[in-house]
């Protein structure tokens, strides 16, 4: 764990420094940012970083942050994603001023394309996609001019009109900017501005069969909306050349400034909508909102809180350095948040029966425990001690294990908040499987003096035990950097979900205020509101109590 990440950062980050300077130098007199998702999948934790940056920067400088759907590729987009993205941003705790769609500006963007043709700065190319690629050249060799590059302005205007009216088939023509086929920036070698797609758009329906590319529409949308700082991830660094070229040549009055920061990479995760959608399509997960997914919806369903995600974004900070963030950091953020607000209770996930032979059959002793060790206003939980209780299978061993701090046959252990017991006998079934453990208690109420015992274990009495299903979630991948592998599908952790049948304290049904619990020694769990077929309660494990992923 990088200790400096654990200390909250309060200094200005490099983006804030740039903005302060831009304001000081009168490059702008207000601040406006935008979060610009493509509605082609669910948002992931990487997007949370971008949301956090755009909204918090606007807030810091009394500016505006809008939400803009960059909806220029109807092949991949879906109106359903728009609603999810909006609700995710609200859930994270951010409020946009306005919602824009790039598609609202299709007519204006089209007129700007015509303007570029009229300035002899764009042409209709009829090379195939493959040929365009070949003509582009490489980092060490310049590109070649397309044979269509020297068409007259008039010819280009007619051809572009034909593109718009559906004359050409998909892929047989496109509009390209006329810049420089030998530019050291490959992006500047006559980039494609418009392509043909005979696909109904979720917003504009059948109105268009030509769609602007991201590079053309993004800067124009920023300018039309009055964005001052267009913040994006580092892979767009080279695109900045083109961003500025387009704004200059369409004679835009507004000149938003693009600045780049490093994207979030997270260990054991994949942060790419395209790759995440493969996990969904191949049914490796139950959906985009599966609690193992690094999506905002998945994290929410798992039991993460908006606070914990904001805290995470604050701690990782914003820099230009590409690196991986440890999963421990994200998990520590949710632990820190839940630790403050979550009631404690006991649950037994892998139950085994334990009978205390020397207490009477109907013995019942109420024990009152504060729900939170520090926050007593959360109230008190009542648990019952009885003759028959459940403990976790992993807390018992028939044989001596050095250093084992739990119950061993012939040794003593303390039941949390209650008695010290000694295991005296094991009952097994005909298959030699342990049925129950017989114990005697060695410090019934009236006994004084301190007893020696091996350790303290959690338990639940059969009087309190309510059957529950536990969904123990783990990382989807079993390697730290699945994103760097050729085929990430070869590294799926097939134990990423283990379902167990155990018991919780029946009081969870009474506490309508609490849906998250810290089950002592087990972790933080979220009560899943949907019940199983046989009406059993379901609990998602949000996170264990301790860091697991050692280096
Ligand atoms: P993906 O590769 O997952 O599809 P994307 O960049 O295509 O991501 P967009 O919907 O275009 O997804 O992203 C909206 C904004 O979020 C962009 O400004 C993008 O730079 C930013 N963003 C996307 N992924 C990350 C990330 N991992 N870390 C930080 N910001 C990100
Ligand atoms: Mg994108």
Per-residue pLDDT of the chain (551 residues; tens, 9 = 90+): 444 444 444 588 999 999 999 999 999 999 999 999 999 999 999 999 999 999 999 999 999 999 999 999 999 999 999 999 999 999 999 999 999 999 999 999 999 999 999 999 999 999 999 999 999 999 999 999 999 999 999 999 999 999 999 999 999 999 999 999 999 999 999 999 999 999 999 999 999 999 999 999 999 999 999 999 999 999 999 999 999 999 999 999 999 999 999 999 999 999 999 999 999 999 999 999 999 999 999 999 999 999 999 999 999 999 999 889 999 999 999 999 999 999 999 999 999 999 999 999 999 999 999 999 999 999 999 999 999 999 999 999 999 888 899 999 999 999 999 999 999 999 999 999 999 999 999 865 545 556 678 899 999 999 999 999 999 999 999 999 999 999 999 999 999 999 999 999 999 888 877 899 999 999 999 998 775 566 789 999 999 998 654 44
Dist. CA 21 → ligand 2 center (Å): 28
**278 and 238 share one domain:** no
Q: Would 82 be classed as within a structural domain?
A: yes
Pocket flag, ligand 1, residue 63 (CB < 6 Å): no
CATH code, domain carrying 377:
2.40.240.10
**20 and 101 share one domain:** yes
Q: Of 414, 444, 463, which residue sits at a domain end?
A: 463
CA distance 45 to 312: 10
**207 and 78 share one domain:** yes
**406 and 539 share one domain:** no
- CB-neighbour burial class of residue 518 (10 A; exposed 0-12, middle 13-18, buried 19+): buried
> Is the full-model pTM beyond 0.85?
yes
Dist. CA 214 → ligand 2 center (Å): 8
**523 and 398 share one domain:** no
- In which domain, by residue range, is 130 found? 12-265
| pLDDT for 546 | 83
| pLDDT for 534 | 66
- CB-neighbour burial class of residue 235 (10 A; exposed 0-12, middle 13-18, buried 19+): exposed
Q: Would 116 be classed as within a structural domain?
A: yes
- On whether the CB atoms of residues 238 and 185 are closer than 8 A, the answer is yes
Ligand 1 atom with minimal separation from the 264 CA: 28
CA distance 267 to 115: 46
263 is catalytic: yes
User: Among 429, 452, 454, 424, which Cα is nearest to 439's?
Assistant: 424
Ligand 1 atom with minimal separation from the 39 CA: 10
Q: Of 221, 246, 265, which residue sits at a domain end?
A: 265
**155 and 283 share one domain:** no
- On whether the CB atoms of residues 166 and 208 are closer than 8 A, the answer is no
| pLDDT for 330 | 97
Give kind and range of the element (H or E) at residue 164: helix 153-164
Pocket flag, ligand 1, residue 294 (CB < 6 Å): no
Dist. CA 44 → ligand 1 center (Å): 9
Pocket flag, ligand 1, residue 37 (CB < 6 Å): yes
**244 and 283 share one domain:** no
3-state DSSP assignment of residue 275: helix
Pocket flag, ligand 1, residue 43 (CB < 6 Å): no
- CB-neighbour burial class of residue 138 (10 A; exposed 0-12, middle 13-18, buried 19+): exposed
Pocket flag, ligand 1, residue 36 (CB < 6 Å): yes
| pLDDT for 6 | 42
- Tokens for 52, please give them: 């956090």
| pLDDT for 5 | 42
**530 and 417 share one domain:** no
CA distance 294 to 310: 15
Pocket flag, ligand 1, residue 229 (CB < 6 Å): no
42, 45, 46, best to mutate for ligand 1 pocket (most atoms within 8 Å of CB) = 46
CA distance 45 to 263: 10
Domain count, the chain: 3
**171 and 71 share one domain:** yes
Beta-strand relationship, 265-266 and 99-101? unpaired
Tell me the Ramachandran region of residue 385: left when phi exceeds 0, alpha when psi lies from -120 to 50, beta otherwise. beta
**458 and 477 share one domain:** no
42, 50, 217, best to mutate for ligand 1 pocket (most atoms within 8 Å of CB) = 50
- Residue showing tokens 């959360």: 378
Helix%, strand%, coil% for the chain, nearest 5: 30, 25, 45
Pocket flag, ligand 1, residue 233 (CB < 6 Å): yes
Which residue's CA is the closest to the ligand 1 atom numbered 3? 272
CATH code, domain carrying 74:
3.40.50.620
User: Among 124, 121, 114, 118, which Cα is nearest to 174's?
Assistant: 124
User: Among 505, 456, 465, which Cα is nearest to 345's?
Assistant: 505
**Sheet with 192-196, edge to edge strand ranges:** 122-125, 174-177, 192-196, 210-212
The ligand minimizing its distance to the Cα of 46 is: 1
Dist. CA 76 → ligand 1 center (Å): 15
**233 and 148 share one domain:** yes
């Amino acid at each position: 764990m990088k200790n400096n990440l654990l200390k909250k950062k309060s200094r200005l980050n490099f983006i804030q420094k740039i903005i302060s300077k831009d304001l000081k130098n009168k490059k702008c007199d207000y601040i406006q940012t935008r979060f610009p998702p493509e509605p082609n999948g669910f948002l992931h934790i990487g997007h949370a970083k971008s949301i956090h940056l755009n909204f918090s920067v606007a807030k810091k400088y009394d500016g505006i942050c809008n939400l803009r759907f960059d909806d220029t590729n109807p092949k991949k987009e879906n109106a359903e994603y728009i609603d999810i993205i909006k609700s995710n941003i609200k859930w994270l705790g951010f409020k946009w001023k306005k919602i824009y769609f790039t598609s609202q500006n299709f007519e204006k963007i089209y007129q700007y394309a015509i303007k570029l043709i009229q300035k002899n700065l764009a042409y209709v190319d009829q090379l195939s996609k493959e040929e365009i690629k070949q003509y582009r050249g490489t980092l060490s060799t310049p590109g070649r001019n397309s044979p269509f590059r020297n068409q007259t302005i008039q010819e280009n205007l007619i051809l572009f009109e034909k593109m718009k009216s559906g004359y050409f088939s998909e892929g047989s023509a496109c509009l390209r900017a006329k810049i420089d086929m030998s530019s050291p920036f490959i992006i500047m070698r006559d980039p494609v501005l418009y392509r043909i797609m005979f696909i109904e758009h979720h917003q504009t329906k059948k109105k268009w069969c030509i769609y602007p590319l991201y590079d053309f529409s993004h800067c124009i949308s920023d300018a039309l909306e009055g964005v001052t700082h267009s913040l994006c991830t580092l892979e767009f660094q080279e695109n900045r050349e083109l961003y500025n070229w387009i704004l200059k040549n369409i004679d835009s009055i507004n000149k938003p400034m693009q600045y780049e920061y490093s994207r979030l990479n997270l260990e054991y995760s994949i942060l790419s909508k395209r790759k995440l959608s493969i996990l969904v399509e191949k049914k490796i997960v139950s959906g985009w909102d599966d609690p193992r997914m690094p999506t905002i919806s998945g994290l929410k369903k798992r039991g993460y809180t908006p606070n914990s995600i904001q805290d995470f974004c604050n701690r990782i900070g914003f820099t230009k350095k590409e690196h991986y963030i440890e999963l421990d950091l994200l998990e520590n953020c949710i632990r820190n948040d839940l630790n403050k607000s979550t009631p404690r209770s006991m649950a037994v996930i892998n139950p085994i029966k334990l009978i205390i032979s020397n207490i009477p059959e109907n013995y019942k002793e109420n024990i009152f425990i504060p729900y939170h060790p520090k926050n007593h206003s959360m109230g008190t939980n009542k648990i019952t001690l009885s003759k028959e209780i459940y403990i976790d299978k992993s807390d018992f061993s028939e044989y001596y294990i050095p250093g084992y701090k739990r119950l061993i046959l012939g040794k003593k252990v303390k039941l949390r908040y209650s008695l010290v017991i000694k295991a005296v006998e094991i009952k097994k079934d005909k298959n030699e499987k342990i049925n129950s453990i017989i114990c005697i208690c060695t410090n019934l109420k009236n006994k004084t003096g301190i007893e020696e015992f091996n350790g303290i274990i959690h338990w639940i009495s059969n009087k309190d035990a309510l059957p529950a299903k536990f969904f123990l979630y783990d990382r989807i991948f079993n390697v730290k950097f699945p994103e760097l592998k050729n085929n990430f599908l070869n590294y799926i952790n097939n134990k990423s979900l283990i379902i167990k049948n155990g018991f919780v304290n029946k009081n969870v049904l009474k506490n309508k205020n609490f849906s998250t619990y810290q089950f002592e020694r087990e972790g933080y769990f979220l009560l899943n509101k949907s019940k199983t077929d046989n009406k059993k309660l379901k609990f998602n494990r949000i996170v264990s109590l301790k860091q697991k992923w050692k280096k």
